[in-house]
Amino acid sequence: MEAPQIKTFIDAMAASDLQELEVSHEGWTLRLVRGGAAARAEPVPARGPFSASPSDEAAPAAKTPSGPEAVRAPMFGVVHLHQGPGQPAFVKVGDVIEAGRMICTIEAMKVFNEVRAECAGRVAAVLVPSGTEVEAGQPLVTIERVEHV
């Protein structure tokens, strides 16, 4: 990531009411957090190109009270459940998937960020329609763990 790209993200955040912005691209992760005097910089390890890094508030997979794992949006953006118009969904209810399987993409600032399953299991529910805006930390899909996939 180069300085002009970073400046573009800073300017975009300054022009909005976003409190936090995180972008991963080509092995780099840029995390901007709006705050007062108590704001501090925190290094965020990159997890690979176009993969979202979990934060304390928005973990990619977290236990829900009913038992299934919730795959959560790592950032604000528009969720896409299909590769393109007329294409099949990345996952659908009842699919048995392996850890690392792509669940959806989230488009933020013209960048498509892949959201992947953190655990193997059966897709129990798809909680958002394709093309809608989601908030960071919002549950997208629930996965029931299974022993062997």
Q: Is the dihedral of CA 40, 46, 49, 51 positive or negative?
A: negative
What pLDDT does residue 106 have? 95
Q: In angstroms, rounded to a whole number, what is the distance separating the alpha carbons of residues 84 and 17?
A: 30
Residue 73 lies in a domain: yes
Task: List the chain pLDDT tens, one digit each, 149 residues.
Answer: 677 777 777 777 777 777 787 887 777 778 888 765 444 444 444 444 444 444 444 444 444 344 688 999 999 999 999 998 889 999 999 999 999 999 999 999 989 999 999 989 999 999 999 999 999 999 999 999 876 65
Residue 20 lies in a domain: no
What pLDDT does residue 27 have? 74
Domain count, the chain: 1
Any idea what the CATH number is for the domain that residue 99 is in?
Answer: 2.40.50.100
What pLDDT does residue 75 have? 93
Q: In angstroms, rounded to a whole number, what is the distance separating the alpha carbons of residues 91 and 106?
A: 15
Q: Model-level pTM greater than 0.75?
A: no
Residue 76 lies in a domain: yes
Range of the domain at 88: 61-145
Q: In angstroms, rounded to a whole number, what is the distance separating the alpha carbons of residues 12 and 68?
A: 36
Residue 118 lies in a domain: yes
- Six-digit token string for 69: 């794992």
